[in-house]
Amino acid sequence: MQVELGTRAPIGRHDDPLKRPVIAYTHIPDTYTFDPNVDVEDYRSKLANAALRNNGILNYPNSEAIQILTHPAGTWPAVSSTDPTFVSCDNPAMEKFLSEYYQVPAGRPADYESYWRKYGNRKLAPGVLPATISPVGLITNVGVTYVANMVGGNTVGLTGVGSAATTTTFTTGSTLVTNAWVGAILYAADTTNHQIVYGNVISNNNTGSASVFTIDQWYAVATPGGAAGTTPAAGYEWLVCWATPPAWFMGITTTNISPGATDTSLSGEATTNGMGRKIAAYTVTSAASGSSITFTISTTYTYSGSGATTFYALGLFPSMVKADTTDTLVWETSFSGSFTVTNSGDTATVSDGIVTS
């Protein structure tokens, strides 16, 4: 779902002392849980209690989508120092909840066009002052390569007709330069079911008169953060291109790491009990021309295990698949403070701000 929030007191505008109002745009993946019948006041009370007494860990069912915005570690506190002036959402139930939660009008206001649409902000954790030493965060060497491919490309794309597909491979009808397409995206369709899926290319190698792509998995175009996409059936139309896959899957680790530019995987990354890699929500209040661009990426995890588990850092990846030998870690950040989940149903909201320059 898409959410727009009027922002009258944006955080981090270093080139505009007037702090003119802007609009914060948040995309929340459809796979995030949301109960449209949740009681606003009950949720508000439980969230406030968790923030004060339980280190921000909340145990509230079917509320991942609303926690992304409303939690102290969520996207809204990262971009604004006050409540929004309005809320607009393509999901009417979500719009109604946020309107009641923030006690602001629902829908775009009459003066909508007066809000600045471009804005740069710096994300700070709740209670952290700008003068405080920030947590360590960096773009990896893999991430630099992804940016280069995104801006300058690598080579033109190719199309063709394939001959076979499995959950992690795709066979073409012609040979290609070995591993020329590592890091690209392979789209495949079947003419029978009119289904299109994609996969991130890990390698491509020739076998006889054909070339076999190895991918991480198939993704459904509309719901890449959900279950793996269906393997395409016979009639394989395919396209491979340098549309750089977004690093929108977040992983978190139980290891107290120090981020390193040469890292390709997140050491100690969690894979079980609801704390594994997950597609994230993005909030963008982009910069005006000549300024940096800042976006906030957030994920809400729901713990399904038992016993205390502590987390120390996050990584961002273009793949849902954790594969230590062929992983593609793009961004790595250590938390300003660790967090611990203890009981099944505990939820933890994790956010990170990324600034381009």
310-323 mean pLDDT: 89
102 and 210 belong to one structural domain: no
Residue with tokens 């393509």: 90
> What pLDDT score does 303 carry?
95
> What pLDDT score does 101 carry?
96
> What pLDDT score does 357 carry?
55
pLDDT digits (tens, 9 = 90+) for 84-104: 999 999 899 999 999 999 999
The more confidently predicted of residues 152 and 78 is 78
Is residue 148 one of the residues assigned to a domain?
A: no
pTM of the predicted protein model = 0.70
The more confidently predicted of residues 52 and 298 is 298
123 and 230 belong to one structural domain: no
> What pLDDT score does 309 carry?
94
**Cα(133)–Cα(128) distance, rounded to whole angstroms?**
9
92 and 15 belong to one structural domain: yes
Domain boundary at 186, 218, 241, which?
Answer: 241
- Count up the domains in the chain and report the number: 2
Q: 40-49 burial, b if ≥16 CB within 10 A, otherwise e?
A: beebeebbee
Instruction: Grade residue 23 by pLDDT with cuts at 50, 70 and 90.
Output: confident
275 and 133 belong to one structural domain: yes
35 and 135 belong to one structural domain: yes
**Cα(218)–Cα(42) distance, rounded to whole angstroms?**
40
130 and 259 belong to one structural domain: yes
- Does position 272 have pLDDT exceeding 50, yes or no? yes
Domain boundary at 200, 225, 241, which?
Answer: 241
The more confidently predicted of residues 272 and 180 is 272
* Beta bridge partner(s), residue 41: none
288 and 227 belong to one structural domain: no
313 and 165 belong to one structural domain: no
Structural domain harbouring 202:
155-241
135 and 24 belong to one structural domain: yes
8 A C-beta contact, residue 1 and residue 30: yes
Is residue 122 one of the residues assigned to a domain?
A: yes
8 A C-beta contact, residue 255 and residue 334: no
Is residue 150 one of the residues assigned to a domain?
A: no
The more confidently predicted of residues 198 and 137 is 198
Domain boundary at 215, 241, 267, which?
Answer: 241
63 and 207 belong to one structural domain: no
- Does position 321 have pLDDT exceeding 90, yes or no? no
162 and 129 belong to one structural domain: no
Task: Name every residue whose Cβ is closer than 8 Å to that of residue 112 and which is 6 or more positions away in sequence.
Answer: none
- Does position 242 have pLDDT exceeding 70, yes or no? yes
What is the chain's mean pLDDT, rounded?
A: 81
> What pLDDT score does 252 carry?
95
